[in-house]
Amino acid sequence: MIVVFGLLALKRAQANGASTWTTMICVTWMCALIFPLLAFLGGEMQPVGLLWQPAIIGVLFMAGQGWTFLAVKLGDVSIAAPVQGIKVLIVPAIAMIIVRENMPGQVWFAAAIAMVGVVCVQTSDDKVDRSRILASVGFAALAALTMSVFDLLIQRWAPAWGAGYFLPLALGFAALFSVAFLPLADAPKRWFQSDLRGPLILGSVLMAVQAIGMTVTLAHWGDATRVNIVYSLRGLWGVLITWALLHQAPATSGRTSSRTMSMRLVGAILIGVAVVIAVTARR
């Protein structure tokens, strides 16, 4: 649920004029500031020649956040969160290559159900630009693919380093690489104006906290497939919470009709059914 509230706060910042690049930079730097607290978890520093591993994780994290915020900016959280739920099916598919985990046949059936759910999530009405909905779905799918690789590479590389070393280094690289997007971001003085400062800080902190929960779990216990099955429920929360805030937060979803939100809820439920099938599949 934390990720949904984080995205809603960042969506408000974007509605107030924050660019996608400003949002991405704020989140990556907030993570870089908070993740060193994990040092107490300990670990073992690897040779300098292996620093490319946390560097790649940093690039993937930055890219995944960028795709996510583009999806939220063009659509809303009730679209981005459910579509990213297909990550639960992407992870076992590519796990065969990255961590040599076989995908059971039931997962393919779950994938078909999830695709129907994605179609329902794309539902729009005459008040919403269809091209923006499709673009939002596309960026959310790219985020799901990018973060799937991110999760599996953490599972593969982090044990040798330990979470206390690997994760702060990875998020530090993400913040460093995000500096390249400063020319595309808002002017620095704009960041500190009241209409942006509050939602940017709140959203960035929430995104950093939820990232800690996810990455530490992967670094310590692995099993990216089952971890993502639980995490994919954010799609259902995304629809329910956005719907509940329909009138209180018009910048988030005020133009979306009840019929459209109902179809998105159906899509989120179908993705949830796919989750149940995937989690009960034999491995």
What would the mean pLDDT of 124-136 be, rounded to a whole number? 67
Report the predicted TM-score, pTM, of the whole model to 2 decimal places.
Answer: 0.80
Do the Cβ atoms of 138 and 131 come closer than 8 Å? no
pLDDT band at 59 (very low <50, low <70, confident <90, very high): very high
pLDDT reported for residue 238: 67
Tokens 């991405």, residue located? 24
For residue range 154-195, list pLDDT tens digits in order: 999 999 999 999 999 999 999 999 999 999 888 877 777 777
- Residue 151: which domain range? 2-280
Q: How far apart are CA 181 and CA 178, in angstroms?
A: 6
- Enter the DSSP assignment of 104: P
* 255: phi then psi, degrees, rounded to nearest 5: -95, 5
pLDDT reported for residue 127: 57
| Residue whose C-alpha is closest to residue 62's, from 162, 186, 181 | 181
For residue range 72-128, list pLDDT tens digits in order: 777 766 677 667 777 877 888 888 888 877 767 777 787 778 777 767 766 655 555
Q: How far apart are CA 67 and CA 225, in angstroms?
A: 21
- Domains in the chain, number: 1
Q: How far apart are CA 28 and CA 133, in angstroms?
A: 26
Least-confidence region, from 83-87, 225-229, 242-246: 242-246
pLDDT reported for residue 248: 60
Q: How far apart are CA 134 and CA 132, in angstroms?
A: 5
User: Which residues lie below 8 Å from residue 68, measured CB to CB, with a gap of 6+?
Assistant: 7, 80, 84, 139, 140, 143
pLDDT reported for residue 178: 94
| Residue whose C-alpha is closest to residue 57's, from 191, 183, 170, 195 | 170
